[in-house]
Amino acid sequence: MLGKLALPAIRELIDSGDDATLAEVVNRWLPADLAELFASLKPAEYVRILRLIRPALAAETFEYLDLGRQLEILGESTDFELAYILNEMAPDDRTTLLAELPESQTRHLLKLLSPEQRAVAESLLTYPENSVGRLMTPDYVAVRKEWTIPRVFDHVREHGKDSETLNVIYVVDDSNRLVDDLRIRELLLAPVHLRVSDLCDDQSIALSVADNKETAVGVFGKYDRTALPGGDTQGCLAGIVTLDDVLDVAEEEATRDIQMFGGVEALDEPYMSTPLPLMIRKRATWLVILFLGEMLTATAMGYYED
C-alpha cells in the first residue's frame, strides 16, 4: 500500500535526478514496501533505487521480488553488487533463483559466493527440483540432550543470530541424527537445573529431503507448525523448512489449479513484461472459446433481427 501511495512522489524524485533525497526516503522503507514499489517502476528505475539503498536492505528487498524482476536486476548489476546480494540471501530463496537460471549463469554466480555460502548453495541444488530439499535452509540451532538449560541459552545467544527461526530448537545426537525438537517456550519456562533430555518426549515430526513440496504443505497443515526439520536417508538433520516457504508452495499450487480450471497456462514473467505472442499462446484456449462465442452471438442476433 505504501508503495502505491508514494509512487507519484517517488517518480518526481526519479525524474528530477535528486538521488540524495530519493536515497533518504527509500532507506526508511521496509523490504516488502520497496518490493511493492518496484512492481510499479521500470527496470532501470528500480535498479537505480536498489543501488541507492543500504546493501543489507537491498538484499532483503531482492528476496521479495518476483523472478522476472530478479532476472532484470541480475542483468543490470555488477559482480560486486551481486556478490553482496547473493551472499546475504536466505539459502532457500537463493536456491530457487539459481535453479531457474541457465547452467552457465548459475556457475558464474556460484563463484561470487563466499566458500561457506557456495558449499551451502551447491548442496541444496543437488536435491531434486520439486523436493523438500530445495526448500531447506541449514540456518537452524541444534543442541544435545545432555546439555543443561543455561548451556542451551548460551548456545542460542552465540549462534542464534544467523538462524532462520528461533521458535524451535532441534535436539541431535553425536552423529547429528534428529532426536527431538523443542519449542523455545518450553525452554524458557523450564527450571534451570533441568537438562534437555528432561524435556524431550521423542515424538518429533520430520520431513524427508526426498519428499515432494506438496507433501510438506500437507504436513505443515496437519501439525500446525511454523518450522519442520528435514532429515536425510540416515535420519541426520539436513536443514529446516519454514512456514513462509511452504505458503509460497501452497500459493503456487492453488494458482495452477485455478489456471487449469480456467484453461490457461501460467506466465513465467510479470504480466506487463510478457511479449504479446507468448501471451496469446498462453491464453489461446479462452481466446478461441471467446471468439467462437462471439461468432455464435452475432449469428443469433442476426437471425432475430431478420
* DSSP run (H or E) holding 105: helix 103-111
The pLDDT value given to residue 264 = 52
163 inside domain: yes
What is the pLDDT at residue 2?
A: 60
- Residues 141-151 have a mean pLDDT of 96
| The last residue of a domain, from among 231, 247, 263 | 247
- Model pTM score: 0.74
Which candidate, 181, 115, 171, 112, places its Cα nearest to that of 144?
171
The H or E element containing residue 257 is: helix 243-262
- Tell me, yes or no, whether 60 and 147 share the same domain: no
150-158 long-range contacts (CB < 8 A, ≥24 apart) are 150/192, 152/187, 152/196, 153/187
Same domain, residue pair 181 and 293: no
In a domain, 267, yes or no: no
Q: Is residue 154 scored above 70 in pLDDT?
A: yes
**Is the domain of 32 the same as that of 95?**
yes
Kindly tell me if the per-residue pLDDT of 263 is higher than 70.
Answer: no
32 vs 263: which has the higher pLDDT: 32
pLDDT in the model for residue 202 = 82
Per-residue pLDDT band at 88 (split at 50, 70, 90):
very high
* Averaged pLDDT for residues 189-193: 95
Answer yes or no: is 304 within a domain.
Answer: yes
Which 3 state secondary structure label does DSSP give 145? coil
* Domain contains 199: yes
3-state helix, strand, coil in the chain (%, to 5): 60, 10, 25
Final residue before a domain boundary, out of 72, 94, 126: 126
Q: What is the pLDDT of residue 164?
A: 87
Question: Within this chain, do residues 294 and 191 fall inside the same structural domain, yes or no?
Answer: no
Within 117-215, strands assigned E span 142-143, 168-172, 178-183, 207-208
Please count the CA atoms within 13 angstroms of the CA of 40 that sit on its side-chain side. Answer: 15
pLDDT at 275 over 70: no
Residue 53 lies in a domain: yes
Grid cell 515430526 is found at: 205
**pLDDT value at position 119?**
96
Question: What is the rounded average pLDDT of the residues 3-13?
Answer: 81
Q: Please state whether beta strands 142-143 and 227-231 pair in parallel, antiparallel, or not at all (unpaired).
A: unpaired
Is the pLDDT confidence value at 70 over 80? yes
End residue of a domain, out of 126, 155, 178: 126
104 C-beta neighbours (distance < 10 Å), count? 8
pLDDT band per the 50, 70, 90 thresholds, residue 293: low
More confident residue, 230 or 4: 230
Residue 274 has pLDDT above 60, yes or no: no
285 is in which domain, residue-wise?
Answer: 275-306
Domain count, the chain: 3
The pLDDT of residue 116 is above 90: yes
Per-residue model confidence (pLDDT) at position 235 = 87
What is the greatest pairwise CA distance in the chain?
94
Tell whether 269 is covered by a domain.
Answer: no
From 57-66, 114-123, 241-250, 253-262, the region with the lowest mean pLDDT:
253-262
